[in-house]
Chains A and B, each alone.
Chain A
Amino acid sequence: MPADHSYAAVMAERAGIMRASVGIDYARYETGVLAFDYERMLADTGYDIAAAQAVQRETAVGDTPLVELHNITALVRRLASPGKGARIFVKDEAANPSGSFKDRRASLSVHEARRRGYPGVAAATSGNYGAAVASQAAKAGLRCIVVQEAFDSRGVAQPEIEEKTRACEAYGAEVIRLSVGPELFYVFLMVLRETGYFNASLYTPYSVLGIETLGHELAVQTKERTGRFPDVVIATHAGGGNVTGTARGLRKAGATDTQVIAASVDLAGLHMASDHDFNRKSFTTGHTGFSMPFTTWPDRADVPRNAARPLRYLDRFVTVTQGEVFYATQVLAELEGLERGPAGNTSLAAAFAIARELDEAQVVVVQETEYTGAGKHPIAQLNLARRMGIEVARGDPRDSRPGERILIPTHPAQIRVVDVDLDRVRRSYLRHALEGLAPGTRPGEADVRFLAEETRSSEDFVAEVIHEQAGTTG
């Protein structure tokens, strides 16, 4: 009998398709009505730092340079009070085989797919991760399918995604390009069901453990170069894996006092599933359209339990504007001789503002760069913005408006970060968790403990929110 391709039928098969495609029985980690054993889920994969490094070295992933940005540091010190302006370093992840830190995420998944005898790998991604999976699959001799959200209903493709299509095809992958919409997941499920490929999801334990080597490496390199662990590491934040893996790697290297700051491009007001808004974003990742929903509810991912759980690790969460990131990208090229893609420079823009407030002896590490080129470039993005009727001008970035006006700062002192209220994010997380409970079920002791760990808060805080929630719904 032929398989039922209807939306409802495929979505109903979701759990079984996922279990077969990632080879993880998530149900065995459940310890309560909400709680699950996160650390055991990760540990059961068998990848510690050394094991992950061994796999990654096979394909020249990792061991990327840590570059001190002397000139940007000098610039920041010109803007800072006397004695202020921390040293800024960047981890040049563009040196990975496919040009971004995503190779670290793809490497363990593709290694697992081959080890377990899957005929190929598939990934649902419009970003650098697709090229990373395709590159790793090419080396492993596995077939590869990448499913992208690529163009709007008028057929206008996002230039950054067009470049990712080209890169994936260069590595020999099949690329399924779709118009805008969350039903990409439905298409992805059909691909997995038909092919029996491994789901190289961004959110499995492999994907997050692969990033631990980045946090570990930069901690060791910083210590060697400066005699201290980084005071601050800034990570561009989207689906949460980058922040989670980096923070875990830092801890494993002993850098337990390092402050982990997540930075996202502010795209407030633009709807991520809107056909109209799709090409009014200059950033396809590293923005609040991903980071807000994934921080407040990680399990919206394409696997039952997301291994990326950013709220467990965030010390601070800030946003910057599109114009500030383009400015930082231009400065990185012209003062440091590093032409790198804009999305990876989100945390660099944040570093301008954050390093300014720290002491000169302190060290800030921007934890990634990405390659740049046609499509993946500020010039391509700003030309698209103009074509879409968005105003592009010089001005104070605080007057910018996502989807309407992009302002390139007139002076580096205008770059600032806006803090996201983590307490509100925690409450939002807890509301999502409690709303997901089956009727009549109540969180038990294990669940309250789990929720406190998840939100890096206390059991008292969790109990308080549960009480408030009961008051509003009861």
Chain B
Amino acid sequence: MTELTPKGTWVEIYRVILPAGERAPQVPEDTAGVPLVMRVKGWLAAPAAPGAEAEIVTPAGRRLRGTLVAVNPAYTHGFGPPIPELSGVGPEVRAILGGEAGDE
């Protein structure tokens, strides 16, 4: 049995807004072939199971329904490893400045 996530938990819901094939007429082919989907975060209005239908109260106070897809979802964006193609730029421009500064 799936454990219910308690009311008041910060979660994310997911909903299909427009299925593939029902997209706006002007969208390119690749976009027309996939659904328009929505993800919104808020506090669970009532206990719900992950993967099941749930209702949230958003920070704006709206009640929205969708599939419960994440509980206390993380912010995962970051920097990643340094980019070697950028790392050399500083020393190069300092060399251009320093190298010719003595000529003045």
Residues in A lying within 8 Å of B, measured CB to CB: 7, 71, 74-75, 78, 120, 143-145, 150-151, 153, 157, 159, 162-163, 165-166, 169, 172-183, 186-187, 194-195, 271, 273-276, 326-327, 330-331, 333-335, 374-375, 377-380, 382-383, 392-394, 408, 411-412
Contacts and interface: CB of A to CB of B under 8 A. Distances in A.
Interface of B: 17-18, 22-24, 26-28, 30-31, 34-42, 58-62, 75-83, 85-86, 88-90, 92-94, 96-97, 100
Contacts of B17: 178, 183, 187
25 contacts: A78-B97, A143-B60, A143-B61, A145-B60, A153-B35, A163-B77, A165-B75, A174-B58, A176-B38, A178-B17, A179-B34, A179-B37, A181-B24, A181-B31, A186-B24, A187-B17, A273-B27, A327-B89, A331-B89, A334-B89, A335-B97, A374-B77, A380-B79, A380-B80, A382-B85
B83 A382 contact: yes
B41 A175 contact: yes
Q: Interface SS of chain A: helix, strand, loop or mixed?
A: mixed
Given A178-B17, A374-B78, A183 B23 contact: yes
Contacts of A145: 58, 60, 62
Given A273-B26, A335-B90, A7 B85 contact: no
Nearest to A144: B60
A256 B26 CA distance: 41
Contacts of B38: 176-179, 187
A330 B39 CA distance: 34
B41 to A, nearest CB: 7
Contact of A71 (B23, B35, B79, B97): B97
A330 B60 contact: no
A377 B79 contact: yes
Contacts of B79: 374, 377, 379-380, 383
Given A183-B18, A380-B80, A177 B39 contact: yes
Given A275-B31, A334-B89, A157 B77 contact: yes
Contacts of B34: 153, 179, 275
Contacts of B92: 411
Contacts of B90: 330-331, 333-335
A112 to B, nearest CB: 19
A120 B27 CA distance: 31
Given A78-B97, A175-B40, A375-B77, A181 B27 contact: yes
A74 to B, nearest CB: 6
A109 B12 CA distance: 29
A195 B59 CA distance: 13
Given A143-B61, A187-B38, A182 B27 contact: yes
Nearest to A79: B96
B35 to A, nearest CB: 7
A162 B26 contact: no
Contact of B93 (A178, A394, A412): A412
A187 to B, nearest CB: 6
A174 B42 contact: yes
B86 A326 contact: yes
A103 B29 CA distance: 37
A1 to B, nearest CB: 20
A166 B77 contact: yes
Given A169-B59, A174-B60, A271-B28, A162 B93 contact: no
A326 to B, nearest CB: 6
A455 to B, nearest CB: 25
A120 B60 contact: yes
A383 B83 CA distance: 8
Contacts of A275: 30-31, 34
A330 B89 contact: yes
Given A78-B97, A330-B89, A274 B36 contact: no
A68 to B, nearest CB: 16
A151 B42 CA distance: 19
B59 A335 contact: no
A347 B54 CA distance: 46
Contact of A379 (B26, B36, B86): B86
B97 A75 contact: yes
Nearest to A173: B59
B85 to A, nearest CB: 5
Given A335-B93, A392-B83, A394-B85, A276 B30 contact: yes
B89 A408 contact: yes
Given A159-B77, A392-B83, A274 B93 contact: no
A378 B82 CA distance: 9
A23 to B, nearest CB: 20
A166 B73 CA distance: 11
Contacts of B97: 71, 74-75, 78, 335
Contacts of A374: 77-79
A144 to B, nearest CB: 7
A195 B60 contact: yes
Contacts of A378: 83, 86
B89 A392 contact: no
A411 B96 CA distance: 9
Nearest to A143: B60
B27 A178 contact: no
Contacts of B41: 169, 174-175
Contacts of A74: 97
